[in-house]
Amino acid sequence: MAGKYLFSFGPWNIHEGSDPFGPTVRGTIAFAQKLKIYKELGFDGVQFHDDDAVPDMDQLSAAEIEKKAGEVRAILDGEGLTAEFVAPRLWEGPNTIDGGYTSNDPACREYAKKRSRQSIDIANVLGTKLIVLWLAREGTYIREAKDSKVAVDRLVEAINDMLAHDPDIRIAIEPKPNEPMDHAYIPTTGHAMALGYLTSDPARVGVNIESAHAILAGLDPSDEMGFALAYDRLYTVHLNDQNGLKFDQDKSFGSVDLRRAFNQVRILEQYDYGQRGEMVGLDVKAMRTQKEGMATKHLSNSREVFLALLDLVRRLDRTAVDQLIAQRDYEELDLLIMNHLLGK
């Protein structure tokens, strides 16, 4: 039960603080500088969007992309960091306004597939076999804009294309029910797993479960994790927190609901998450109010809370829990857990 956890985050988790209603409030920290901060904060893994590693990749040849990715790999090696995953960024460019794989424009769908293959090439240079798909714009603002059956067919086609491009990659779909779209086509873990079973190699299609995304779908993140663990397809996690049904907040892990966070750590620990190299990803954002030079605390705080909760998980009196379950005395179990969280 005493496994060691490795932590990761993405460069986007150190950011300038803009939101839809206001501009940046902090200066930009250069990518290479961000990589230097990882170890100081207690992190070992770097999560990448494809263009975090290779900026302006749409303007570059395959050889240029490989060269640039190689330079980033050298920095990672120098810092003692590993790349955890690469995610094709299919939501910012002019070709992805109407979505990537499910765009109504065949040229845009081709762009999305090509870009996904390029992400796999970048992942290979960076030394990871994990690809994350956050299907940001694969959905609609109005139901009539796309055909939801055809959309699923197209998602399967695109995933098959990736699986064929590299027989060793694994794909972790990161479900999210809304934002930026009104409704996304793959809103939950169940949808993602079911989509995997339509592909040519379901054994290589799993999930990245983000706490906030599950909460936005009205679901409990630890139960979503249990579902994926039952299929042995929990490839990574994006732990954070979320205060109710509103915009995706990416709050520090445990900052809204410690008990909900405790249960996420509990299920990961219970089923030996991390023993096969899975990392604890923290997809958290600093508050916009944080001043210059103090906007990495959300990362170290989230890690610290994870480790404190891990300690509580390991010290939980399992015998007492099992006895109360056997007696069906869930009121007493409720109090036992609350007292445990209160340190009593």
- Binding residues (CB under 6 A) for ligand XUL: these are 49, 87, 134, 174, 176, 210, 238, 248, 283
Nearer of residues 211 and 301 to Mn ion, judged by Cβ: 211
Which one of ligand XUL, Mn ion, none is in contact with 34 (Cβ closer than 5 to 8 A by kind)? none
Which one of Mn ion, ligand XUL, none is in contact with 87 (Cβ closer than 5 to 8 A by kind)? ligand XUL
165 is catalytic: no
Going by C-alpha positions, the residue among 53, 200, 204, 202 that lies closest to residue 119 is 53
Give 27's DSSP letter.
P
Nearer of residues 248 and 336 to ligand XUL, judged by Cβ: 248
Which one of Mn ion, ligand XUL, none is in contact with 176 (Cβ closer than 5 to 8 A by kind)? ligand XUL
CB atoms within 10 A of CB 104: 14
Which one of Mn ion, ligand XUL, none is in contact with 303 (Cβ closer than 5 to 8 A by kind)? none
Contact 284, 43 (CB under 8 A): no
CB atoms within 10 A of CB 237: 28
Give the integer Cα–Cα distance in Å for 242 and 226: 19
Give the integer Cα–Cα distance in Å for 259 and 95: 42
Which one of ligand XUL, Mn ion, none is in contact with 285 (Cβ closer than 5 to 8 A by kind)? none
Give the integer Cα–Cα distance in Å for 47 and 65: 18
Name residues whose C-beta falls within 8 Å of residue 98's C-beta, 6 or more positions apart in sequence. Answer: 104, 105, 108, 137
Catalytic pick among 50, 51, 52, 121: 52
Instruction: Return the residue nearest ligand XUL (CB atom).
Output: 134
Nearest distance, CB of residue 231 and Mn ion, angstroms: 20
Contact 50, 71 (CB under 8 A): no
Q: Can you give the binding site for Mn ion, defined by CB under 5 A?
A: 210, 238, 283
340 is catalytic: no
Give the integer Cα–Cα distance in Å for 66 and 54: 9
Which one of ligand XUL, Mn ion, none is in contact with 224 (Cβ closer than 5 to 8 A by kind)? none
Nearest distance, CB of residue 12 and ligand XUL, angstroms: 6
As a whole number of Å, the CA-based R_g of the chain is 20
Within its chain, how far is the Cα of 301 from the centroid?
A: 18
Place of tokens 């460019």: 93
Nearer of residues 169 and 284 to Mn ion, judged by Cβ: 284
Give the tokens for residue 179. 């934002």
Nearest distance, CB of residue 85 and Mn ion, angstroms: 11
Nearer of residues 90 and 313 to ligand XUL, judged by Cβ: 90
Nearest distance, CB of residue 329 and ligand XUL, angstroms: 39
Nearest distance, CB of residue 314 and ligand XUL, angstroms: 28
Name 209's bridge partners: 237
Contact 196, 205 (CB under 8 A): yes
Nearest distance, CB of residue 212 and ligand XUL, angstroms: 7
Catalytic pick among 49, 191, 298, 340: 49
Contact 124, 166 (CB under 8 A): yes
Nearest distance, CB of residue 210 and Mn ion, angstroms: 4
Name 206's bridge partners: 172
Going by C-alpha positions, the residue among 50, 156, 140 that lies closest to residue 98 is 140
Give 28's DSSP letter.
P
What residues act catalytically? 49, 52
